[in-house]
Chains A and B, each alone.
Chain A
Amino acid sequence: MSENIESPEEIELSMSEQMERTSVNISTFSALHESSGMPFNFPVILGGEDIIKDEVVKLKVEEAFGQLNIQSLFGFEDQVLQSVIYNTFRTDNADDKLTPYIYLLKSYTKNVYLLNYLATPYADLNIDAYFVEVDFMSRALSGVFRRTTTQEEMGLHTEEKVHELCKDTVDTLVGYMHYQIFTERGMRNLVSQVRTQIAMILGMFIEFKIDTSELQCVGKCGNTFAADDVTLDEKAKSEMICSNCGGEMVKAPPILKFSKVQYLYPPGSDDVILSIDPNGLNPITYLGYLSGVMMPRNLATTVNRLSPTHFGTLATVPSKVSFSKNDGSKIQLNTNYRLDGDKLILFVSISDSKFAVRKYDDIFIPALSAITLNRDMVEGFKKGYTLKQIIRSSIISDWVLTDLVDVDDLGKFEKISEIKSQEE
């Protein structure tokens, strides 16, 4: 045997190194500094050695993350976003690049917010364990921040010192998280705690238009331009030079635009839902769960600056979303998508822990079967069945399917059941 042959373990190691080098891990802590009324932001970018060619750009992006308003990002009134996993696909059908998954987690303790953005080809991160880590990080920084600012008020520290001490903590916390994911391959074990019971209450089919025409300046101004933007002259379009600041322009990441929606709900759910949640029947409320977690535009374009070749053609679709509500209940979204020409069709199942009660067993289905259902839907489409055929042969054969409605027309309906249903 020749000595050059690598053992499987060594190959695995270099694979994981490759993975690490194309993964980008961005954490931004934001703490509200009460005496100045300004948020202190601590952004850190780790990883991505293979795709980020320019260190200056990295610093600029870090700075841009430092200016994001973390608190209001994914802000909802009565529910708090915990985590979103995005599925991605490339609009240019390039197969030679590693396509990452994107994990976005948000957590807060007292007045410290933390947004963690991780784009990595690893699909096996356990989101619960990961959230526990992120949650811990925000709690740890909250303590340091609370202590240092109190010391500042007492005149023991300057504002710079507070910043420095917090920055040290942030580096330690983020550094260890990155080390855990990529060096130890941690956060992959299942969390042993008992999961909250949760039941699927509604399905949605949504049609998106994929818009890839937008351009983005990666120079000074950082503006984005729609393809038909009047300020863009021909020269700008052909040579890709920003007519505003003269900087280089690249393709902005694709946008998914909501176009039509179709609902799927269990018969007789009106009264049950209304008794628990007064806004529960409004079609826009449910669409809002999804539209609220679509990748924020400013986040997508900022990350794109890191590596336009890597992120410029990357469309992101939320695939698993968890919210926690203020009353302690949990809402989960699971999605599956299918590409159909320039359209994207997404099947979303919405589950809510408040309805996982025995007396509603006949109406709703457990969220675990919803995941199987999701897969069946997409497989069914692939085989060329119509929506109706798939539903009739699935476990939710008695659920009501509404007509396909334009998203702009949804305002006319107060209840989902007012939308005309497709009768056989």
Chain B
Amino acid sequence: MEERNLQKEITDEFANAFTSLSARVEVFQTTQDSFVQSLIPQIQEVLPDLTEENLRDASAIYGICLTDEAIKNYEPSQFAQDVKYLVEVMPDEEATSEIIKEVEATKEVKAANEKKSSSAKTLQERTKEAMLQETVFMATLASYYKSNSIIESALNELNNDIVLLNINGRAEIAITSILIRTHLLPLYNHIYNLYKATGTEIDLRFITSQIIYGIKNLIGENSENESQYSLFSQIKEDYPLGHGDDLYWDLAISKIYRIFYDKLKQLLKPKIDEGIKNREEAIETIRAQMNAKAPEQGTDESLRSKVDSMIFETIQFGRTFDGQRKAKLAQLIESLLKRMALKEYGVQDIANRERYTEYFMEEFFPVMLEYPQFLLPFIDIRFYRNFSDNPLEHFENQKIYMMNQFWFKMRKNGYKTKTSSMPYDIGNAFAELLYDILNDPKVLNFEV
């Protein structure tokens, strides 16, 4: 089920990339005509059999790749080598996917209409096959363009995780498996399906070489005249297979991970060291604080500090705030509220239920102000800029609106003013709320 959804997403993504690239190519060809013309001979040198239309398209796409930095440090001849390979594996008329056929059909209708309406327009008399070939050519290059840009962003994410996992000191076996399985395998699947959307069964080793090219660019190791295609030829020499999704893991670990992980880690070493240092310092500070407080700490305070440290660990050390911790937090809040009631009235279960809410506002709401990023979900999004400049001031100005939002969310999570399970409801609703907040990447990445 999920797989099918993913497939559809990628197909849609391809369709978008394809249409937007086609449009950009047209614009590029008219605005940068001289640039396109200057490229054509260089590409033609490698690809003498290409039609003129294809040559113009390829040149424009190369230009677009350059301006978008989809592939860096690339010469036209290197690009042409890749195109040459892609032309070889381009689907024939039978294998062409439905999407392309649809595009082709609308084009034909359009062309026919134009012919009818204005005879002045010089429409090149091209055969149907040639027109289809052009569309397929464009579509294949669209997949190529798109896959290079996904690789770039996927590698950034990979690097972030290399840093994070190393800072957290995870076991080597876990780092290997997590990096490959959460980054490289989905990347293979994604790119494979992008090509598949045109009808091409791309060789997995070509995907590998595309990824390797991206990594080499990052670590500054690519030698001159090394194209994705030349890397592909190298891999082909000792890796005999190129099809079947069971190869993802093998290619990812043997051709990418084992070769480049240490190099990437070396590249990221300053970041990792800094992170480890910060983490150790923070732990040291907390430990010192805890030790200093320990003698005069009452039971209430120890419970309260547990709540604090739970949140602090998540924000500062990136420890995940999972369901287990959520449940614990809800319990802690509940028992604290009951204790406060016990202190004031001598019983846990007090008749004045609203008093619990007052306790809550006294004791726990300040957490929200300690970490201003927690207020992010309650702001009116139009004031985002205002908020990010000075969260607390914004909160003071917009207090009524934001408190309304806050209580609305609390009620959505099961908070009710008058129920017998009142302290539990508050604790649970607040824990649910914090759970959402602490798992929201927007909040976690918010720089205060």
Interface centre among B173, B248, B297 (most CB of A within 10 A): B173
Taking a contact as CB atoms closer than 8 A, the residue among A110, A154, A183, A189 that contacts B246 in the complex is A110
Q: Which of A146-173 contact B (CB under 8 A)?
A: 146-147, 150-151, 154, 156, 169, 172-173
* Contact indicator per residue, chain A 359-371, by CB within 8 Å of chain B (1) or not (0): 0000000000000
Residues of B within 8 A of A136 (CB): 181
User: Is residue A413 contacting chain B, with contact meaning CB distance below 8 A?
Assistant: no
A138, closest chain B residue (CB): B246
User: Is residue B441 contacting chain A, with contact meaning CB distance below 8 A?
Assistant: no
**What is the bound-complex CA distance between A154 and B238, given in angstroms?**
10
User: Is residue B169 contacting chain A, with contact meaning CB distance below 8 A?
Assistant: no
B181, closest chain A residue (CB): A136
Interface centre among A140, A144, A189, A192 (most CB of B within 10 A): A140
**What is the bound-complex CA distance between A194 and B246, given in angstroms?**
25
User: Is residue A139 contacting chain B, with contact meaning CB distance below 8 A?
Assistant: yes
Residues of A within 8 A of B1 (CB): 193-194
Categorize the interface residue count of chain A: 20 to 34
**What is the bound-complex CA distance between A154 and B244, given in angstroms?**
19
Could you tell me if A193 and B249 are in contact, using CB atoms closer than 8 angstroms? no
A144, closest chain B residue (CB): B250
Given that A1-B294, A147-B239 are contacting pairs, would A179 and B246 also be in contact in the complex, using a CB cutoff of 8 Å? Answer: no
* Contact indicator per residue, chain B 138-167, by CB within 8 Å of chain A (1) or not (0): 000000000000000000000000000000
* Contact indicator per residue, chain B 183-211, by CB within 8 Å of chain A (1) or not (0): 00000000000000000000000000000
Q: Which of B33-61 contact A (CB under 8 A)?
A: none
**What is the bound-complex CA distance between A208 and B375, given in angstroms?**
62
Residues of A within 8 A of B77 (CB): none
User: Is residue A229 contacting chain B, with contact meaning CB distance below 8 A?
Assistant: no
Could you tell me if A176 and B241 are in contact, using CB atoms closer than 8 angstroms? no
Nearest CB on B from A319, distance (A): 25
Taking a contact as CB atoms closer than 8 A, the residue among B173, B240, B244, B297 that contacts A172 in the complex is B173
Could you tell me if A147 and B174 are in contact, using CB atoms closer than 8 angstroms? no
**What is the bound-complex CA distance between A169 and B294, given in angstroms?**
49
Categorize the interface residue count of chain B: 20 to 34
The secondary structure that dominates the B interface is helix
Could you tell me if B249 and A144 are in contact, using CB atoms closer than 8 angstroms? yes
Could you tell me if A179 and B171 are in contact, using CB atoms closer than 8 angstroms? yes
Could you tell me if B177 and A154 are in contact, using CB atoms closer than 8 angstroms? no
Could you tell me if A150 and B240 are in contact, using CB atoms closer than 8 angstroms? yes
Taking a contact as CB atoms closer than 8 A, the residue among A146, A176, A183 that contacts B247 in the complex is A146
User: Is residue B2 contacting chain A, with contact meaning CB distance below 8 A?
Assistant: yes
* Contact indicator per residue, chain B 274-305, by CB within 8 Å of chain A (1) or not (0): 00000000000000000000100100001000
Residues of B within 8 A of A140 (CB): 246, 248-250
User: Is residue A184 contacting chain B, with contact meaning CB distance below 8 A?
Assistant: yes
**What is the bound-complex CA distance between A391 and B338, given in angstroms?**
46
User: Is residue A216 contacting chain B, with contact meaning CB distance below 8 A?
Assistant: no
A7, closest chain B residue (CB): B306
A195, closest chain B residue (CB): B1
Residues of A within 8 A of B246 (CB): 109-110, 139-140, 142-143, 146
Could you tell me if A139 and B245 are in contact, using CB atoms closer than 8 angstroms? yes
B175, closest chain A residue (CB): A176
User: Is residue A175 contacting chain B, with contact meaning CB distance below 8 A?
Assistant: yes
Could you tell me if B173 and A143 are in contact, using CB atoms closer than 8 angstroms? no
**What is the bound-complex CA distance between A142 and B247, given in angstroms?**
8
**What is the bound-complex CA distance between A181 and B90, given in angstroms?**
44
User: Is residue B413 contacting chain A, with contact meaning CB distance below 8 A?
Assistant: no
**What is the bound-complex CA distance between A147 and B243, given in angstroms?**
11
**What is the bound-complex CA distance between A154 and B248, given in angstroms?**
21
User: Is residue B176 contacting chain A, with contact meaning CB distance below 8 A?
Assistant: yes
Residues of A within 8 A of B171 (CB): 179, 183
Given that A1-B294, A140-B250 are contacting pairs, would A146 and B174 also be in contact in the complex, using a CB cutoff of 8 Å? Answer: no
B302, closest chain A residue (CB): A1
B251, closest chain A residue (CB): A143
Nearest CB on A from B123, distance (A): 50
* Contact indicator per residue, chain A 63-96, by CB within 8 Å of chain B (1) or not (0): 0000000000000000000000000000000000
Residues of B within 8 A of A143 (CB): 244, 246-251
Residues of A within 8 A of B176 (CB): 172, 176
**What is the bound-complex CA distance between A136 and B239, given in angstroms?**
22
* Contact indicator per residue, chain A 168-206, by CB within 8 Å of chain B (1) or not (0): 010011011001100110000100111000000000000
Q: Which of B237-271 contact A (CB under 8 A)?
A: 238-241, 244-251, 253-254
Residues of B within 8 A of A110 (CB): 244, 246
Q: Which of A97-150 contact B (CB under 8 A)?
A: 109-110, 136, 139-140, 142-144, 146-147, 150
Nearest CB on B from A188, distance (A): 9
**What is the bound-complex CA distance between A204 and B323, given in angstroms?**
38
Given that A1-B294, A172-B176, A176-B173 are contacting pairs, would A147 and B2 also be in contact in the complex, using a CB cutoff of 8 Å? Answer: no
Residues of B within 8 A of A175 (CB): 173
Residues of A within 8 A of B247 (CB): 143, 146-147
**What is the bound-complex CA distance between A194 and B241, given in angstroms?**
35
Residues of B within 8 A of A1 (CB): 294, 297, 302
B328, closest chain A residue (CB): A8
Taking a contact as CB atoms closer than 8 A, the residue among A142, A154, A176, A192 that contacts B174 in the complex is A176
Given that A172-B176, A179-B174 are contacting pairs, would A147 and B294 also be in contact in the complex, using a CB cutoff of 8 Å? Answer: no
Could you tell me if B241 and A150 are in contact, using CB atoms closer than 8 angstroms? yes
B176, closest chain A residue (CB): A172
**What is the bound-complex CA distance between A189 and B323, given in angstroms?**
9
A156, closest chain B residue (CB): B238
Given that A179-B171, A193-B2 are contacting pairs, would A147 and B241 also be in contact in the complex, using a CB cutoff of 8 Å? Answer: yes
Residues of B within 8 A of A146 (CB): 241, 244, 246-247
Could you tell me if B250 and A172 are in contact, using CB atoms closer than 8 angstroms? no
Could you tell me if B173 and A147 are in contact, using CB atoms closer than 8 angstroms? no
Residues of A within 8 A of B248 (CB): 140, 143
Nearest CB on A from B76, distance (A): 34
Nearest CB on B from A234, distance (A): 53
Residues of B within 8 A of A183 (CB): 171, 174
Taking a contact as CB atoms closer than 8 A, the residue among B181, B240, B245, B254 that contacts A154 in the complex is B240
**What is the bound-complex CA distance between A192 and B241, given in angstroms?**
34
Q: 19 new A-B pairs (CB below 8 Å) besides A110-B244, A147-B241, A176-B176?
A: A1-B294, A1-B297, A1-B302, A139-B246, A140-B248, A140-B250, A142-B246, A143-B250, A146-B241, A146-B244, A146-B246, A150-B240, A169-B253, A172-B173, A172-B176, A173-B177, A176-B174, A179-B171, A194-B1
Query: Chain B interface (Cβ within 8 Å of chain A)?
Result: 1-2, 171, 173-174, 176-177, 181, 238-241, 244-251, 253-254, 294, 297, 302, 323
10 A-B pairs, CB-CB below 8 angstroms? A1-B297, A143-B251, A144-B254, A147-B241, A147-B250, A151-B240, A169-B250, A176-B173, A179-B174, A183-B174
4 smallest beta-carbon distances between A and B, as pairs: A140-B249, A143-B246, A143-B250, A176-B177
